Amino acid sequence: MKKIFMYAMLFAACTLGTASCSSSDDNNDDNKLAEKEQAMQAITDQYVNNVIFPIYQSLASQTSTLFDQLVEAKAKFRSGTLSQSDIDRICTTFIAARSAWESSESFLYGAATDFGIDPHIDTWPLDRTALAKALSSAEIIEDLDDLDDGGIDNARALVGEQQLGFHGIEFIIFRNGKNRTLAALQGTEDDEAFSGRGITGEQELIFAAAVAGDLRDKCFQLEVSWLGDQAPKAHQERVEECEFPTTVAGGEASYGDNLLNATKAGSTMTTWRSVMATILVAGCSNICAEVAGQKIGQAYLGTDPDYIESPYSQRSYFDFFDNISSIQYSLYGNQSTTAHANSIMGYLQKYNATMAAELKTRLDAALTALNTAKAGTPFVTDSHSANAKAAMDAINALDDILNEAASWIAAN
Amino acid sequence: MDCSKLIIALCLGLALTSCTDDSDSGGNTGTIEADFIGKAVGNFSAEEWFTGGEKGTTMNVTQGCYEDETPAVTEMGLTEAFNRGEQFFERNVTEFQAPFNGLGPAYVRKSCLDCHPGYGHGKRVTQYNAEWGNGYLLVIYHPVDGQNSDDGPYVSEVTGMPQTRAVSPFLPPVDESGIHLSWLPLMAMADDSEISATQFPDGETYELIYPELSIDREAFNTNPTPWETGNGAVAFRLESTIGIIGTGLLDAIPDDSIKAQYQREARFVELNPAFWDKEANDFAASAWYVNASSGLEQVNRLKKFTYAMTRGSLQDGAGANAIWNITNVSRSDRPKLYTTAAWAKAMSENPKVIAAIKGDPSSPYYADGTDEGIREAVYNLLLPTTNQFDNPWHNFQPEMSDNNFWAFQVWHRGLAIPRARNLQDPEVQRGKEVFSEIGCANCHRPSWKTTTDDYWNPQIIASQNLQLPRYQNQTIWPYTDMIQHRLYMKNGIHGSWCRTTPLWGRGLSLINTGAEDRLHDCRARNEIEAILWHGYSKKSDGYAATLKFYRLPKADRDAIVKFLRAI
């Protein structure tokens, strides 16, 4: 996945090699290096405060709302007052939460990886047969139902991580690319894996509410891990109640502080160039390769539709679009379509305008390809389409230039 | 000539005439690391930047670099297979949902990533739950002294890697609620060790901790329990997952080179007689891994994988085994379950298990629906000797396809080693010098050369005429002698002998995994603690080097730590 980065680094080293013995080389000029490092510090400050923080705040907020709405829906279902507009509202919230999560995937490094949050909340395919078995158990349903007395913990313990996270909830509230109907929830679950089990909408909502609680808690953990004391007090308290870890290596520093305090004692980031490489390679390139090689690639190149994410809402291309948008935000230092001056794109525009232009061209091409795909046949319906191929190729091309940019910044 | 090879050749060529003044001045002021990569600096050769050699090194050193494929994967056109294999490592295994199906009936973890968070070792935990981040395996054995010896045979009532989870309606062989783990501070070293348990001679302090593990007898859902067999005594240890990056490169080290290393070391230290026949100056017969775990194929390679060096080829090594036995996912060459007769018997005698199956006619254990019929089906289907695909009770299908197993092995053999870092730093260079001077490099041998890399290929891959990544004619820097030694730590490793851990890439553990615990049970929270545990006992093979380290000035101790983080 990092092949271009590797070769480019070698090339950079070789190219510099013939000249770097001279202490008067322009590239090694102390003042210029200091100027660039100051710029990288400003980029980091902008990136952490205006990309990572607001996206994780949004994710925490949206998942909290989703939990509240599902708890309310459960009560309304029991009292016979649940309406289609209630379900539609939940679906809208789910889509917003999902978008926030996918928009955070260009910075999965850090807390999402260190604490195993990514595989916990975003695993697929859903094991519907195992879910049907679990929901058939009166004991499990009872344990999940009492949210004031460990229902969320029970979701973690009883239904298996394979059923947790976004896609377990997605299965309950979406079907065949549409919002679940009230009539469907009022009947018994008709998915093939549930055949003959007589699972009711009430049981499904009990499950969805408990899983949404777990999802919310994990997103609070992400927010608190990055924002530290800047996270809402209530979120901090909930994370503490769950006994979730939130600091770098169990120390004092939040993940945000760890980046902001690069080069200082206590930070794992020893140089500002390592921060840039982290943003570009550990962050942007990683999700680029994941989308092209795994999320699209495995289904496009193979034959198994179960490799496809978000099959019930049929929003796979929307997920991928948000992933590439996430890269844009990281490169631009904000969530707009214009790069902030203190951003990696701004840095490249100043020091390597040719590369900046090429990076923007390929980023735009990837987003355009995914926009086209979003308007066409859903990925889960046709995973071998020309749209899928075009998107995969464009994202691979973006990945190449991201690694080249990382190599150039590291070497100059 | 391949473009990438040309670039690397240029780099390596440049190294011969590269600058030395930069390294003398340190290179940290007014310079950037990229100026030095691929060049000889101080006491490092140019090649040492490329820790895994030309075909095995990733130049990425950011978080996620442990996940990278080697250049060999790319050059051989194996990227798609690598990506597919990666999914089998990362995804949660499900009970029913293909393509990641087959979890249970009893299992150790639901995902490889649970034990290898961030592709590293597991993290030290304070409570044993078979969840993400806990990379520990339980070790349950009959101690030879009837007390707490490190030595003794595994109990046979639970599997060698004991399972603490099961799918409904079964109970896990070991109930996690009965596992008790505590971490205790070490108050004193043993066996007249001249090393303090708490501080260096210059007054700098440290705290060493070690695990104490016990499991309640009632936690065993087996018949009999381990207390009713063997010598009637039961002891427990923790063993953390072993490193996975670069293992394909280790597989490429030729057996005859390792033999020369044994011959060199046998002159100075007692080696494990199960591996080395001192009289014959040659390998013992038991050093050879003769048959694959499936029992169906011959391997005939030197044992060199796992702490206990129980495996002779990566293709039948820890990963090839774990993708079957940790989750109990069957495949065509692994048609039997990883279970025990004692667990099968206990499950077949459990009234709740029988009642649950009786209430579910779709269960594969339902048989004729009578209590007796269900009991018989449960017992026989859960036995480790029953062919799951061909038996009188219920014939299951292989859960992992042969082609997906190949992809998994491409991934496994294709994991790269990240390049070295900061070799231009004089402190790192000093660390290398002292590391060698005090004797660490005697066991943590810096480099090896691969030759033809004619790896052993299991039939289910060979029959498909499929390739795996190859690493021919590489110089690699793993910092291991591929030989077992004894450290005699308090509550040490089961079996006493432990293969010298490769040190390459470990300095990037914190950014890849969020943790940097070291040693076989993660008792060491940093490099200093790991080194000092080598000197717990005067009997330790690492004692002399550790004593020298202990007596070093702080600057040199710090230099060694910096060196370890750089390689």
Strands B417-418 vs B57-58: parallel, antiparallel or unpaired: parallel
Please give, rounded to a whole number of angstroms, the shortest distance from the CA of B233 to a CA of chain A: 33
Report chain B residues whose CB lies below 8 A from the CB of A1. 67-69
Residue A262, both tokens: 């690069």
On whether residue B245 sits in a domain, the answer given is: yes
The answer to whether residues A101 and A325 touch, using CB atoms and an 8 Å cutoff, is: no
* Closest chain A residue to the Cα of B525, Cα to Cα: A249
Which residues of B72-135 form beta strands (DSSP E)? Answer: 106-107
- pLDDT confidence of residue B12: 34
Q: Which two tokens stand for residue B361?
A: 């006619």
Cis peptide before A125 (omega within 30 of 0): yes
Q: What are B153-191's pLDDT values in tens digits?
A: 999 999 999 999 999 999 999 999 999 999 999 999 998
Cβ of A14 and B60 within 8 Å? no
Domain locations in chain A?
A: 3-17+29-47+258-411, 55-252
Mean pLDDT of B139-147: 98
pLDDT tens-digit profile of A72-111?
A: 999 999 999 999 999 999 999 999 999 999 999 999 999 9
A29: how many CB neighbours lie within 10 A of its CB? Answer: 13
Check CB contact of A242 with chain B, cutoff 8 Å.
no
Within an 8 Å CB–CB cutoff, is residue A5 touching chain B? yes
Phi, psi of B310 (to 5 degrees): -95, -5
What pLDDT, on a 0 to 100 scale, did the predictor assign at position B26? Answer: 32
CA dihedral B430, B433, B436, B441 (to 10 degrees): 60
Q: Tell me how far apart the alpha carbons of residues B371 and B376 are, in angstroms, rounded to a whole number.
A: 9
Looking at chain A, the whole-number percentage of residues with pLDDT higher than 70 is 93
Angle at B34 between CA B33 and CA B39, to 5 degrees: 95
B59 vs A9, A110, A298: nearest CB? A9
Q: What is the structure's pLDDT at A306?
A: 78
pLDDT of residue A29: 64
Decide if B310 is inside a domain: yes
Note the pLDDT of residue B3.
Answer: 35
In chain B, the N- to C-terminal Cα span, in Å, equals 30
What local confidence, expressed as pLDDT, does residue A278 receive? 97
- For residue A79, the distance in angstroms to the closest alpha carbon of chain B comes to 32
Q: What is the mean pLDDT of residues B312-332?
A: 96
Q: Which amino acid is at B407?
A: A
Sign of CA dihedral B398, B402, B403, B406: positive
Separation CA A199–CA B234 (nearest Å)? 46
Q: Is A305 on the interface with B (CB under 8 A)?
A: no
Quick count: other Cβ atoms within 10 Å of Cβ A243?
6
Structural domain span for residue B118: 77-255+305-327+402-415+432-567
Q: Are B309 and B276 in contact (CB under 8 A)?
A: no
Question: Could you tell me which residues are beta bridge partners of residue B94?
Answer: B101
Q: How many CB atoms lie within 10 A of CB A245?
A: 16
Identify whether B396 is part of a domain: no
B526: CB partners within 8 A, 6+ apart:
B516, B518, B561
* Angstrom distance (rounded) from CA A141 to CA B225: 33
**Helix %, strand %, coil % for chain A, to 5?**
75, 0, 25
What pLDDT digit, counting tens, does each position of B474-519 carry?
Answer: 999 999 999 999 999 999 999 999 999 999 999 999 999 999 999 9
State the DSSP code for A410: H
What does the pLDDT average to over A398-411? 97
Find the residue in A nearest to B37 (Cα): A13
Q: For residues A389 and A300, is the Cβ–Cβ distance under 8 A?
A: yes
**Residue A18 sits at the chain B interface (C-beta within 8 Å):** yes
Which pLDDT does position B21 carry in this prediction? 33
Q: How many CB atoms lie within 10 A of CB A168?
A: 28
The pLDDT value recorded for residue A304 is: 73
Sign of the C-alpha dihedral computed for residues B114, B117, B120 and B123 taken in this order: negative
Kindly compute the dihedral angle of the four CA atoms of residues B470, B82, B247, B102, in this order, to the nearest 10 degrees.
-130
Question: What's the rounded Cα separation, in Å, for the pair B100 and B80?
Answer: 17
CA distance A58 to A95: 12
* Chain A: residue whose CA lies nearest to B100: A125
Q: Could you give the CA distance from residue A67 to residue A82 in angstroms, rounded to a whole number?
A: 16
**pLDDT tens-digit map of A183-219:** 999 999 999 999 999 999 999 999 999 999 999 999 9
Is B69 in contact with A294 (Cβ distance < 8 A)?
no
Over residues A352-371, the mean pLDDT reads 98
> What average pLDDT does range A132-143 have in this prediction?
92
CB contact under 8 A, A133 and B92: no
Chain B residues with CB inside 8 Å of A306's CB? Answer: 97-99
Query: Does B37 sit within 8 Å of A10, measured CB to CB?
Result: yes
pLDDT of A394 above 60:
yes
Q: What's the pLDDT at B542? A: 97
Contact A30 B61 (CB under 8 A): no
Per cent of chain B over pLDDT 70 is 95
**Closest residue, chain A, to B80 (C-alpha):** A293
B11, B86, B92 member nearest A123 (Cβ): B92
Is the Cβ–Cβ distance between A319 and A329 less than 8 Å? no
- Please identify which residue in the block is written with the tokens 């997605």: A170
Candidates A5, A125, A273; nearest CB to B32: A273
Find chain B residues with C-beta within 8 A of A6's C-beta: 57-60, 71
Type of residue found at A176:
N
Amino acid at A44: T
Using the predicted structure, report yes or no on whether residue B24 has a pLDDT greater than 70. Answer: no
Per-residue pLDDT, B121: 87
Residue A5 has which token pair? 């980065």
Q: Are B133 and A116 in contact (CB < 8 Å)?
A: yes
- Report the pLDDT averaged over residues B224-231: 98
End-to-end, the C-alpha distance of chain A in Å comes to 23
Provide the token pair at B255: 């057996």
Tell me what ipTM this predicted complex has.
0.91
Contacts of B355 in chain A (CB under 8 A): none
Model confidence band, residue A159 (pLDDT cutoffs 50, 70, 90): confident
Any CB–CB contact under 8 A between A274 and chain B?
A: yes
pLDDT of residue B19: 34
DSSP B146: S
Q: What is the pTM of this model?
A: 0.93
User: Given this model, what pLDDT does residue B16 score?
Assistant: 31
Subunit contact B7:A278, Cβ cutoff 8 A: no
Are B32 and A33 within 8 A, CB to CB? yes
Count Cβ atoms within 10 A of the Cβ of residue A374 and give its class: 0-12 exposed, 13-18 middle, 19 or more buried. Answer: middle
**Which of B58, B95, B114 lies nearest to residue A129, judging by beta carbons?**
B95
Residue A8 above 80 pLDDT?
Answer: no
Please check the confidence at residue B463 and state whether its pLDDT lies above 90.
Answer: yes
**Side chain identity at residue B70, one-letter code:** T
CA angle B527, B528, B529 (to 5 degrees): 95
Per-residue pLDDT at B14: 34
Helix axis angle, A53-79 to A84-102, nearest 10°: 160
Residue B207 tokens, joined: 């705290």
8 A C-beta contact, residue B151 and residue B144: yes
Q: How far apart are CA A280 and CA A274, in angstroms?
A: 10
- Cis (ω within 30 of 0) for the bond into B553? no
Tell the residue number behind the tokens 């810096």, with chain if given.
B446
pLDDT of residue B30: 61
As a whole number, mean pLDDT of residues B536-547 equals 97
Q: Do A6 and B57 touch (CB under 8 A)?
A: yes
- The token pair at B515 is 């943790």
- Residue of higher predicted confidence among A28 and A121: A121
Instruction: Quickly count: other Cβ atoms within 10 Å of residue B145's Cβ.
Output: 12
The shares of helix, strand and coil residues in chain B, as percent rounded to the nearest 5, are 35, 15, 55
Contact B537, B189 (CB under 8 A): yes
Q: CA A394 to CA A380: how far, in whole Å?
A: 20
* Residue A231 near residue A223 (C-beta atoms within 8 A): yes
Search chain B and give the residue with CA nearest A111: B514
Q: Are B331 and B324 in contact (CB under 8 A)?
A: yes
pLDDT band at A307 (very low <50, low <70, confident <90, very high): confident
Distance CA A98, CA A91 (A): 10
Q: Which of A120, A126, A307 sits opposite B132 (nearest CB)?
A: A120
Nearest chain A residue to B32, by CA: A411
Q: What is the dihedral of CA B488, B492, B498, B500, to 10 degrees?
A: -80
- Residues of A whose CB is below 8 A from B22: 20-21
- Angle B131-B133-B135 from CA coordinates, rounded to 5°: 90
Say whether pLDDT at B404 is over 80. yes
Each residue's pLDDT tens digit, B282-302: 999 999 999 998 888 999 999
Separation of alpha carbons B81 and B125, rounded Å = 34
Query: Residue B107 and residue B324: Cα distance in Å, rounded?
Result: 10
A177-206 residues touching B, CB cutoff 8 A: 193
A278, closest residue in chain B (CA to CA): B62
Query: A54-66, pLDDT tens digit by residue?
Result: 999 999 999 999 9
- Where is pLDDT greater, at B70 or A158? B70
Query: To which H or E segment does residue B139 belong?
Result: strand B136-141
Residues of A in contact with B74 (CB under 8 A): 3
- Fold for A3-17+29-47+258-411, please state it: A middle domain of Talin 1 (1.20.1420)
Residue B22 is predicted with a pLDDT of: 33
Judged against a pLDDT cut of 70, whether residue B338 lies above it is answered with yes
The residues in A 306-325 lying below 8 A from B, measured between CB atoms, are 306-307
Q: Is A265 on the interface with B (CB under 8 A)?
A: no
Strands (DSSP E) found in B144-268: 165-166, 179-185, 209-215, 235-240
Q: Which residues of A touch B21 (CB under 8 A)?
A: 21
Q: How many domains does chain B have?
A: 1
Return the H-helix or E-strand segment holding B282: strand B282-283
Strands of B70-122, DSSP E: 106-107
Name which of B33, B133, B515 is nearest A249 (Cβ-Cβ): B515
